[in-house]
Structure 1
């Protein structure tokens, strides 16, 4: 009886083991079955890399007064176009006109004093030739003339300053462009030390888009082209995507790269310029720079066909119907969807195109229809 129980227990264990093995085989077959595959073949593609950008007009200038006073007239409106030298604000001119008149009077007085000193000097010289006065008297008259000439030059300098100050009461546009918000109204007391500018003038006929790339990307540009200047010259035209998702019709060019790495972010600043004749772009706005990189005669694979182990990338080739892992190297640039393979695959290799992380070596593959 005891022997019979042992046999029954042994049979039960064997059945469980066989059932478990059968389940594992079915699970393995199910995990590896019906996977999409692709055949490696050189082709051309364009990978796009996106970067967040801040927009600035090619020129954006703060307009500040150079003299103190109250605003008596505002000659422009917000958002209007202005030309360089166009009057925008007028600051109370009466105090500066009075100063100018006083300076003109001082100059006239100084000129009269110079004329009087010159007459005195000539008189002393005549008397010296007649022996009436000594050389000392002539020298004293010459010193008096020199003093009056210095006083005249000082008065003329003050007159020039008074004229300049009066001209500064007309605050003019420093550049062609579009006026921003006006921060002060009629009657406001302003000076050169005000916290906020009167307004800003931005030239947005063209717009600079500032963005940053990683230090490694900048180093790769230099390594590939030999210098930053050569890298800039060979970079492709770039696109600009607005916050609405719409792409600007005109392409731009990358025309400047910073020579410094931002210590806080480890990034390198770059600048692209876009024409903006219709004023679609606003200074201070945000957008996305899209840089296309073109590749020809390269093997392109989807990223989901790969898996990583210790920063190394692998794919599963299909050899005689079974999976076989293969390490590959790819271009550092990626658009988040595809990789450009530089080594590890050759034309005609068949690889599993999806779910590589769920596979292992030696699993049977059934091609998904």
Structure 2
């Protein structure tokens, strides 16, 4: 058996290790990774309707307390609490008998004064004839004439008394002044009402149509003025021209309720910097109730050729909002942009990009400004017709 000397063994090990290290160095040489694959898309060009957004609250067009205008005992209550009633419907009856008697008394007085006026007129005519014949003195005729004038005045007064008695009798029937919902009654049958102080019997509220009040900022007022100028209108024309207003409740998607502008205050409130505005809405289904808090949207004049990108593609830093685009040689560039309203899931870009810019729409974490990417071109879908948010 042949043995290898210690020196030869050591030399052999050195050569083996050197060969192994040489092989490892070739395998571990650095190979740069390929550019990341990133989705890009051209901005979508569409005609967009700009909107003015606000918050408001609903109020009734009419809301009136029903007050007893004459004193007496409640004899009848002719409705159910919360019922819908038509204008002219009797709701309460105050004991009418005392007022019927007062009317009869006034009518009797009117008949008596009419008889007296007729008699005094006849006497004055007789005295006039006798004076012409120089049978009586002028003073006799003057007395007859004065008596006739007094009786005429009494006749006029009696006619007024009859009208007042008729009016008081009519007040015993408390009727709905307009179509609406009557609240729960505040009195009971047999209760004395209309004493020294007015007694509120109930309240009637009109729900159709209904108002929505909201405030517009001074900046938005200027936007509206510019929009009206494009239409050839001025601020005073707001209530003369049909200006659409849309509202939505907090639990609703979008702005399903459609109305029109009804009123705009003549001046901006200096303390708040806002303009008070009101819209009116048909409300036959009573979806809107007074006191609701609502979202308000006013469509302005449509803007053609607006550029839109996915809202998720917009980033922000200390300099403001920005998007990333694939520039020359597919190198990522950061562009500062001015954004507009949200239309569906797309955001209007007012300035900062052009229609041929390839905007990075996904893979934002791997797209680093100044580094190259492998663009994956996508096509943006048409924006939703109803922009739900600003």
Q: Normalising by structure 2, what TM-score?
A: 0.70
Q: Are residue 146 (structure 1) and residue 149 (structure 2) matched?
A: yes
Q: Are residue 364 (structure 1) and residue 371 (structure 2) matched?
A: yes
SS in 1 for 2:68: coil
Q: CA offsets per residue over residues 185-206 of structure 1, 9 Å max, x none? A: 2233433986774333333343
Q: Are residue 307 (structure 1) and residue 316 (structure 2) matched?
A: yes
Which of 268, 278, 291 is the equivalent residue of 2:275?
268
Note the 1:252-267 alignment, pairs <5 A.
Answer: 252-267=259-274
Q: CA offsets per residue over residues 237-271 of structure 1, 9 Å max, x none? A: 63x43344367866434444443334453333333
Equivalent pairs counted in the alignment come to 335
Q: Are residue 220 (structure 1) and residue 200 (structure 2) matched?
A: no
Indicate if the aligned counterparts of 2:68 and 2:198 stay in contact, CA closer than 8 A.
Answer: no
Indicate if the aligned counterparts of 2:213 and 2:277 stay in contact, CA closer than 8 A.
Answer: yes
Partner of 1:350: 358
SS in 2 for 1:287: strand
Partners of 1:261 and 1:334 lie apart in 2 by 28
Indicate if the aligned counterparts of 1:41 and 1:346 stay in contact, CA closer than 8 A.
Answer: no
Partners of 2:175 and 2:374 lie apart in 1 by 74
Partners of 1:260 and 1:202 lie apart in 2 by 30
Structure whose residues are more often helix by fraction: 1
Partners of 2:244 and 2:111 lie apart in 1 by 67
Indicate if the aligned counterparts of 1:127 and 1:133 stay in contact, CA closer than 8 A.
Answer: yes
Partners of 1:363 and 1:187 lie apart in 2 by 89
Indicate if the aligned counterparts of 1:40 and 1:351 stay in contact, CA closer than 8 A.
Answer: yes
Indicate if the aligned counterparts of 1:128 and 1:138 stay in contact, CA closer than 8 A.
Answer: yes
Q: Are residue 42 (structure 1) and residue 45 (structure 2) matched?
A: yes
Partners of 1:147 and 1:287 lie apart in 2 by 66
Note the 1:236-255 alignment, pairs <5 A.
Answer: 238=246, 240-245=247-252, 251-255=258-262
Note the 1:1-369 alignment, pairs <5 A.
Answer: 37-44=40-47, 51-191=54-194, 197-226=200-229, 227-228=234-235, 233=241, 235=243, 238=246, 240-245=247-252, 251-291=258-298, 296-302=304-310, 305-307=314-316, 313-320=321-328, 321-331=330-340, 333=341, 339-353=347-361, 363-364=370-371, 366=373
Cα pair distance change 1:155/1:354, threshold 3 Å: farther
Unaligned runs of 5+ in 2: 1-35, 377-390
Q: Normalising by structure 1, what TM-score?
A: 0.73
Query: How far 1:235 sits from its partner (Å)?
Result: 4.9
Unaligned runs of 5+ in 1: 1-32
Partners of 1:339 and 1:137 lie apart in 2 by 100
Query: How far 1:282 sits from its partner (Å)?
Result: 2.7
Q: CA offsets per residue over residues 304-349 of structure 1, 9 Å max, x none? A: 6243667x65444443454544444444x45797542233311221
Cα pair distance change 1:302/1:255, threshold 3 Å: farther
Query: How far 1:91 sits from its partner (Å)?
Result: 1.4
Partners of 1:355 and 1:145 lie apart in 2 by 106
Further displaced range: 106-115 or 170-179 = 106-115
Partners of 2:342 and 2:216 lie apart in 1 by 14
Partners of 2:130 and 2:242 lie apart in 1 by 85
Partners of 2:253 and 2:192 lie apart in 1 by 44
Q: Indicate the RMSD between aligned Cα atoms, in angstroms.
A: 4.0
Cα pair distance change 1:214/1:58, threshold 3 Å: same
SS in 2 for 1:199: strand
Partners of 2:120 and 2:104 lie apart in 1 by 24
Partners of 2:153 and 2:141 lie apart in 1 by 19
Partners of 2:124 and 2:242 lie apart in 1 by 76
Indicate if the aligned counterparts of 1:42 and 1:347 stay in contact, CA closer than 8 A.
Answer: yes
Partner of 1:8: none
Partners of 2:259 and 2:242 lie apart in 1 by 13
Further displaced range: 190-199 or 272-281 = 190-199
